[in-house]
């Protein structure tokens, strides 16, 4: 039995947190025994507990939290951990330090370009520590892997790509109208939606401006965003919505606990991001058979075959708007995208395939 310590220093919800939870609960119990270290209460904790997994709380805040490092080392020794699986820059760095000091292998995972930046403080030192302490470095897209190797100096020999997977037993076509009814939509109205917490890289300002163009041409369109939002950026988006006179057309719904239900209310899914490591929300929408328009922002180019199972466009207002309009006008195209999307997810992006890849990596680095 291989004892795995899973670590992430965010509380979710989000794409990285979803992968974290899926690995904790999904590794083969005949081969692996999983322990989860998280910061505290939140979506990750609640989701783990819903699967009868009690996480271990360790406070990870601070620029250099020596108590966090010492506690990770204590947990590794207490539970006789064989290998550590960590996610995101902060957790990756501390777990690598703990792994070196405890002589335990560590697999680190990076989920997006927003994990770090060229301006990240002491990034060169952090990269060297992760290169030293990692037995394997996972990236969720090949573009992300190449970018991190070239820009930050991550070890090319240790780096691998494992695409995120979606649980098709949960995400599948099952038409729902509850959100449409909540918004007062008519039967023939077109609902266009996006999923993701409100952050600069999500490009919701582009989505709002594209919505203005679309709605002027098709007054029966409505727009929704599912994701947590607060602070200055969220306030600026609300001001932009007001300036564009879209208060009764464009809705920020906050975090939606039932993502499959939300997606199955949509007629078209839009990913307006300026930067994406992979985009779990895109493959979830495709698994539900929702036609997708996504920006060329990193990960989507490795998911979508343009014109076959979705549309890829520049992260520009006019291109997003015109691509969505073309789908509104072409029902057979939307139906074709739906069929091909479902087939692709089953073939290429299943959660079972993702978990098998991580299992193989964990086993090989314990030998």
Q: What's the pLDDT tens digit per position in 234-285?
A: 999 999 999 999 999 999 999 998 999 999 999 999 999 999 988 999 999 9
Respond yes or no on whether the N-terminal peptide bond of residue 351 is cis (omega within 30° of 0). Answer: no
pLDDT of residue 59: 83
CATH code assigned to 2-165+350-364: 3.40.50.2000
Fold of 178-348: Rossmann fold (3.40.50)
Work out the mean pLDDT of the chain and round it to a whole number. Answer: 94
pLDDT of residue 15: 86
In sequence order, which residues have a C-beta less than 8 Å from that of residue 300 and are 6 or more positions away? Answer: 271, 273, 276, 279, 282, 294, 312
**Domain definitions of the chain by residue range:** 2-165+350-364, 178-348
At 192, is the secondary structure helix, strand, or coil? strand
Look at residues 117, 115, 155 and name the one whose alpha carbon lies nearest to residue 137: 155
CA dist 341 and 76 (Å) reads 42
Q: What's the pLDDT tens digit per position in 183-208?
A: 999 989 999 999 999 999 999 999 99
CA dist 39 and 294 (Å) reads 32
Q: What percent of the chain has pLDDT over 90?
A: 88
pLDDT of residue 115: 60
| Fold matches, 2-165+350-364 and 178-348 | yes
Q: Is the pLDDT of residue 118 over 60?
A: no
Q: What's the pLDDT tens digit per position in 234-247?
A: 999 999 999 999 99
Opening angle at CA 300, ends 297 and 301, nearest 5: 90
Tokens of residue 31, six digits? 């081969």
Q: What's the pLDDT tens digit per position in 78-88?
A: 999 999 999 99
pLDDT of residue 12: 81
In sequence order, which residues have a C-beta less than 8 Å from that of residue 155 and are 6 or more positions away? Answer: 131, 134, 137, 149
DSSP 45-76: HHHHHHTT--PEE----SSS-HHHHHHHHHHH
Residue 61's pLDDT band (cuts 50, 70, 90): confident
């Amino acid at each position: 039995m291989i004892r795995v310590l899973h670590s992430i220093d965010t509380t979710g919800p989000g794409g990285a947190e979803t992968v974290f939870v899926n690995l904790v609960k999904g590794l083969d119990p005949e081969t692996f025994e999983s322990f989860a270290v998280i910061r505290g209460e939140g979506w990750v904790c609640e989701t783990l507990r819903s699967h009868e997994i009690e996480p271990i709380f360790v406070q990870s805040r601070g620029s250099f939290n020596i108590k966090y490092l010492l506690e990770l080392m204590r947990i590794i020794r207490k539970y006789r951990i064989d290998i550590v699986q960590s996610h995101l820059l902060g957790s990756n760095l501390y777990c690598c330090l703990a792994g070196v000091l405890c002589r335990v292998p560590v697999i680190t995972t990076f989920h997006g370009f927003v994990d770090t930046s060229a301006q990240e403080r002491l990034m060169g030192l952090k990269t060297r520590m992760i290169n030293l302490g990692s037995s394997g470095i996972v990236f969720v897209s090949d573009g992300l892997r190449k970018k991190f190797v070239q820009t930050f100096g991550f070890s090319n020999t240790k780096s691998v790509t494992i695409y995120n997977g979606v649980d098709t037993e949960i995400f599948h076509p099952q038409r729902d109208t509850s959100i449409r009814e909540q918004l007062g939509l008519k039967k023939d109205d077109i609902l266009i939606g996006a999923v993701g917490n409100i952050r600069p890289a999500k490009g919701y300002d582009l989505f709002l401006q594209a919505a203005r163009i679309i709605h002027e041409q098709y007054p029966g369109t409505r727009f929704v965003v599912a994701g947590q939002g607060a602070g200055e950026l969220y306030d600026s988006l609300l001001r932009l919505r007001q300036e564009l006179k879209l208060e009764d057309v464009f809705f920020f719904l906050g975090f939606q606990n039932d993502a499959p239900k939300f997606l199955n209310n949509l007629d078209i899914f839009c990913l307006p991001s300026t930067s994406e490591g992979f985009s779990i929300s895109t493959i979830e929408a495709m698994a539900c058979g929702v036609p997708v328009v996504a920006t060329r922002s990193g990960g989507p180019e490795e998911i979508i075959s343009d014109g076959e199972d979705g549309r890829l466009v520049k992260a520009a207002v006019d291109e997003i708007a015109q691509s969505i309009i073309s789908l509104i006008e072409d029902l057979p195209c939307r139906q074709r995208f739906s069929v091909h999307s479902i087939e692709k997810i089953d073939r290429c992006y299943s959660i079972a395939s993702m978990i098998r890849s991580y299992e193989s990596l964990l086993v090989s680095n314990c030998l």
